[in-house]
Amino acid sequence: MNKAVFLDRDGTINKEVSYLNSIDQIAIPQNSIKALQLLQKDGFKLIVTTNQSGIARGFLTEQTLHNIHKYFDILFSSHNIKIDDYFYCPHLPEENCLCRKPKTKMIEEALKKYNIDKSRSFFIGDKMVDVECGYNAGIKTILVLTGYGQSFKKEAQKKVSFIAEDLYAAASWIMSKPSQSL
C-alpha cells in the first residue's frame, strides 16, 4: 500500500488568495517547494484536496480551475515535483454535498484510486475544515500556521497531531517519524 500526504491548496502550498481564479495569483513559497520535494523523496503520494466554491459562485469555471492546476504542475515539475492528483469540491457550503471538506468523499476516492494506507498518511491544511476532514477520515492531521492557520490554532489542538509554522516544518516533522519511512 502507498502512503500519502493530502494537502490543502490555498494557504498551505500556495499563498492564501481569496477565490484564486488566475495563474497570475499563484505564489508558491520556497519552503513549500522544499517541503514537497522532501515528502516526495520519501515516497509519499502528493494529493491536493481543495474546496472550490468559487466555481458555484461564478468566480471561475471548472476549465479555469483545471488550467490553474496544470500551471501548478508546470511550476512544480521545474523543481522535480509531481502532484499525483487534484480532488476538488465545486459546491457551495449550503449545498451539503458529500465532497466538501470536512466531509471525506475526496479522501475516500483518493484512498481507493491510489491504494493508500491511512495509518501512514497525513492531511495538512490551514483551516479547521482541513483538520476535521483528515480527522474524520482517520488520518493524522497537521495544521499549518500559514494562510488562515493562526486563527484556528487554539480550536485545532484537540484534532491535530502537530501544529507547524509552515509546510516545510510539517514535512520535517513527518520525516522525523521513523515509522513513516518506506
Active site residue 24: no
CA 122 to chain CA centroid, Å, is: 10
**Preceding peptide of 93 cis, ω within 30°:** no
Outline where 78-148 has alpha helix (H).
105-114, 128-137
Outline where 7-100 has alpha helix (H).
30-41, 62-77
Active site residue 8: yes
Catalytic residue among 10, 126, 130, 166: 10
Beta pairing class for 140-144 and 162-164? parallel
104: helix, strand or coil: coil
Query: Residue 79's CB: how many other CB atoms inside 10 A?
Result: 14
Catalytic residue among 8, 126, 130, 166: 8
Measure Cα distances from 27 to 15, 61, 98, 109, 174 in Å. Answer: 6, 20, 30, 28, 24
The answer to whether the beta carbons of residues 123 and 134 sit under 8 Å apart is yes
Active site residues: 8, 10
